[in-house]
Amino acid sequence: MKPKGFVRRTKQREAILQVLRGTKSHPTADWVYQEVRKEMPHVSLGTIYRNLRTLSEHGEIQELAYGSHHSRFDANSESHYHFICDSCGSVEDLDMPILHELEAKVEKLGNYEVFNHRLEFHGNCADCSEKESVQSDQH
Amino acid sequence: MKPKGFVRRTKQREAILQVLRGTKSHPTADWVYQEVRKEMPHVSLGTIYRNLRTLSEHGEIQELAYGSHHSRFDANSESHYHFICDSCGSVEDLDMPILHELEAKVEKLGNYEVFNHRLEFHGNCADCSEKESVQSDQH
DNA sequence: ATAAATGCAAAGCATTTGCAACCAT
DNA sequence: ATGGTTGCAAATGCTTTGCATTTAT
């Protein structure tokens, strides 16, 4: 029996992977689209998006989410770290010291001027990890 | 002479700040909108967005950008950190070890299950910091 | 043969913006 | 009086999706 959610090897998907592997520039979906289009003029942007999603869900590539499609706002403007629950989406402040020394370390890695950094932890919050353990009890 | 970009104190802006200061939940713009609307039914969503931006530009609040309004993709699916140039938007991989021990630290802070973390550094890349120093030479 | 993947175009949705009226300074 | 700010509505821009068709297995 074939596994459900089997992933086919299509020329569009191969082309996308090849474009991505051929650059160090962490491109946007649209840039990938333009590149793939050079070899495959009829490829559609929808296909690019669908494949980028599939590939990152399968751990073959990594998505770096930027921008602000659903920003959240924090009245505490002091620098601090956050915990994000991947299950329910809640965001909590973390009471831990800022690792200023990391910025100096990064500046030594290259010719960077580092102004600040963002550190956030992902996982399950107290509520959600409790719910999951209850669910597995019910088996 | 009044400073350019002077920020007025309007009742809309005050209401937004008050809503934000009255919660620990890191709300979305729309949640803020719904809350402010309870006291000020004619406030517009545009005003909420404009003020949230102004306030965070002035360092009174903090914006936490989530989602994927312009995602970037990385063929390197191994966990690694990034440097983002705030001036030109370029993204570079950083060659530094993953700080796994931080996740254990966070788990001790509360009842969290931490699966992974995201750490990125912001500043000026080599090119952009060079351009800026050239500009200031021209004064 | 079958279900995954595609191209195309339309829809979704958070966010931004143009503009005339308004109001804090 | 001045120009920052507002409400309203239309627009923007990245991303997603419905559907008929194609294609990898």
A48 touches chain B (CB under 8 A): no
Which pLDDT tens digit goes with each residue over B24-67? Answer: 999 999 999 999 999 999 999 999 999 999 999 999 999 999 98
Helix (H), strand (E) at residue A93: strand A91-94
B 75-134: CB under 8 A from A: 75-77, 82-84, 86, 90-96, 102-103, 105-106, 109-126, 129-130
CB B30 within 8 A of CB B45: yes
* In the predicted structure, residue A100 carries a pLDDT above the cut 80: yes
Rounded Cα–Cα distance for residues B65 and A110 (Å): 26
pLDDT band at A131 (very low <50, low <70, confident <90, very high): confident
Band (A3; pLDDT cuts 50, 70, 90): very low
Predicted model pTM: 0.88
**Strand residue runs (E) in chain B:** 62-64, 72-74, 81-85, 91-94, 113-124
What mean pLDDT value characterizes chain A?
91
Please check the confidence at residue B116 and state whether its pLDDT lies above 70: yes
Is a pLDDT exceeding 80 seen at residue B8? yes
Q: Is A73 in Cβ contact with B62 (below 8 Å)?
A: yes
Nucleotides on strand C with an atom closer than 7 A to protein CB? 4-10, 14-18, 23-25
| pLDDT at A4 > cutoff 70 | no
